[in-house]
Amino acid sequence: MNDMKSMSDNTPSSPERRRFISAATVTAAGVTLAPGVMLIDVAHGRPEEQAASSAVRWGMLVDATKCASGCDECVSACSTENGWTPVAESAHPKQAPQWIRKLELQDPLTQAETNLPMMCQHCEEPPCVDVCPTGASFKRADGIVLVNRHTCIGCRYCMMACPYKARSLVHEPLNDTQKPDVPRGIGCVESCTFCVQKVDRGDGTTACVEACTASGHNALVFGDMNDPESEISKRLRELPTKQVRADLNLNLGVRYHGI
Amino acid sequence: MAGKIKRLLALGAVVLTTAALAWAGSDDQPKASGAPKPVITKAVKGEQCVEPNDFMRRNHMKVLLHHRDETVLEGIRTKKYSLKECINCHASEKTGSVAASKDDFCVSCHSYAAVKIDCFDCHSTKPQGSMAMHPLNAETAHYAHKLAAQANSKISAEEMAGIAQ
Ligand code: SF4
Ligand code: SF4
């Protein structure tokens, strides 16, 4: 495991190099389809009038060997970005919405501890979408699984169907405490959106990833898994990773290393 | 008889037109008897709405509905017809919101027309970077949690840094 860790630490990731690579990608990604018709790189800085594209598949890599015990920077960053009350401060913690959770696992045989964040895995074959009676649960073209609150009836089928306990129902009125970019409301189910408001803005990252990187742990990488030159694709090529409950064959958008 | 009915109808038409004109003319608030007329405050920002006022009064719900589906399902976030942009321009200077008090832009007309809006069960009624002073507006609510979390936390920042190494 230590070898693994040092290997991942050696990944060339100097900002200059990354900038050079992404510049190269942008040039390469502008493909001429026909005279005057260009297919422009959609992953980074998609114009606001352009729909999310299936050329992109957003995904996340969690390096559990770097995820620190006692740290919950990703969780509080999510709560701040998306406006949900941290569970500890909720009047009803057992039913409080939770978009991302920090898990600390211990192997009963070896006592080895593993730390990892758990959230919606943005399944390619999402069971939540299969069971939704209204079509409110849906997968966007770029692989982000969302709830359309305009059609969600709060039946909670999706909560039961999700193998990862990723979804929550909002039980109480939010009294206009929502963030302007993140509508949420009573009677609707919600879960991690991969910070879709940031993705659409062209940030190319999520609040949890920013916070983890800022805290110096660097356990999370977000990016386009369809782009072979993206940082996440490179790391996924180098590191052995697992999907949680891979036996379910859901082709997850979140991959874990070191579990 | 027929003449009388005609005259009555004509009178009715005149009354209706006057009422409609009075309602459309937003600047001078008519204080006619009957139901209080909606208060239509001029948008704080911007000179002209994305469409003429008459069109928006009748059709804002249609364009909003169309835009909402494009945004949620496809991720198209153009500014025209975006509810967020309506709020950015129309939030009241007093409450910083389009729906906090009964004279705020959205609520004022909707209560006059007796149409319940549920947009604000989920959407914030205040613009980003709110001008409101209310301690629990959408911009500041999360700081309360953050502060409380720090107060409750048993692990100091230094200890947290120690764990990282
Ligand atoms: S992890 Fe759960 S909520 Fe997320 S896409 Fe899969 S089934 Fe749906
Ligand atoms: S709670 Fe909403 S999103 Fe979930 S299955 Fe029911 S209608 Fe669909």
| CATH code of the domain covering residue A212 | 3.30.70.20
Q: Quick check: is A49 in a domain?
A: no
Which residue's structure tokens are 């939010």? Answer: A174
For residue A191 and ligand 1, the question of a CB distance below 6 A is answered with yes
Domains of chain A: total: 2
Same domain, A9 and A97: no
Q: Quick check: is A52 in a domain?
A: no
Strongest mean pLDDT among A14-18, A118-122, B101-105, B141-145: A118-122
Q: Residue A202 is part of which domain span?
A: 58-257
Burial class (CB in 10 A: 0-12, 13-18, 19+), B27: exposed
Could you tell me if A209 and A221 are in contact, meaning their C-beta atoms sit under 8 angstroms apart?
yes
- The number of the ligand 2 atom at minimal distance from the alpha carbon of A154 is 1
pLDDT band of residue B36 (cuts 50, 70, 90) is: confident
Tell me B162's DSSP state: H
Same domain, A38 and A116: no
Q: What is the pTM of this model?
A: 0.74
Q: Quick check: is A51 in a domain?
A: no
Q: Label the pairing between strands A254-257 and A58-63.
A: parallel
Same domain, A104 and A15: no
pLDDT band of residue A33 (cuts 50, 70, 90) is: very low
For ligand 1, pick from A137, A168, A191 the residue to mutate: most ligand atoms within 8 Å of CB. A191
Residues B29-37 have a mean pLDDT of: 65
Query: How does pLDDT run across A194-220, given as a tens digit for each residue?
Result: 999 999 999 999 999 999 999 999 999
- Can you give the residue ranges of every domain in chain B? 53-164
Q: Quick check: is A50 in a domain?
A: no
> Which residues are registered as beta bridge partners of A222?
A60
Of the candidates A72, A62, A80, the residue with the CA atom closest to the CA atom of residue A101: A72
Residue B40: its pLDDT value, please? 86
Same domain, A74 and A128: yes
Tell me: pLDDT of B126 over 80: yes
Same domain, A30 and A106: no
Residue B37: its pLDDT value, please? 83
Gap between the terminal Cα atoms of chain A: 10
How many CB atoms within 10 Å of residue A135?
11
Q: Which of residues 97-156 of A touch B (CB under 8 A)?
A: 138, 140-142, 146, 148-150
Lowest mean pLDDT among A67-71, B32-36, B37-41, B130-134: B130-134
Same domain, A222 and A179: yes
Q: How many CB pairs under 8 A join A and B?
A: 111
Q: Extract the tokens encoding A73.
A: 């920077």
Q: Extract the tokens encoding A1.
A: 């495991």
Q: Considering only alpha carbons, which residue of chain B is nearest residue A177?
A: B138
Compute CA distances B21 → A83, B58, B118, whole Å.
43, 15, 29
For ligand 2, pick from A137, A150, A165, A186 the residue to mutate: most ligand atoms within 8 Å of CB. A137
- The number of the ligand 2 atom at minimal distance from the alpha carbon of A167 is 4
Could you tell me if B91 and B101 are in contact, meaning their C-beta atoms sit under 8 angstroms apart?
no
Same domain, A36 and A132: no
SS (H, E, C) B71-95: HHHHCCCCCCCCHHHHHHHHCCCCC
Same domain, A104 and A201: yes
Q: Quick check: is A136 in a domain?
A: yes
Same domain, A133 and A11: no
CA distance A143 to B149: 33
CA distance A188 to A14: 42
Q: Quick check: is A107 in a domain?
A: yes
Could you tell me if A188 and A174 are in contact, meaning their C-beta atoms sit under 8 angstroms apart?
no
Q: Any idea what the Cα angle at residue A123 is, between residues A117 and A125, rounded to 5°?
A: 160
Lowest mean pLDDT among A36-40, A103-107, B87-91: A36-40
Could you tell me if A221 and A60 are in contact, meaning their C-beta atoms sit under 8 angstroms apart?
yes
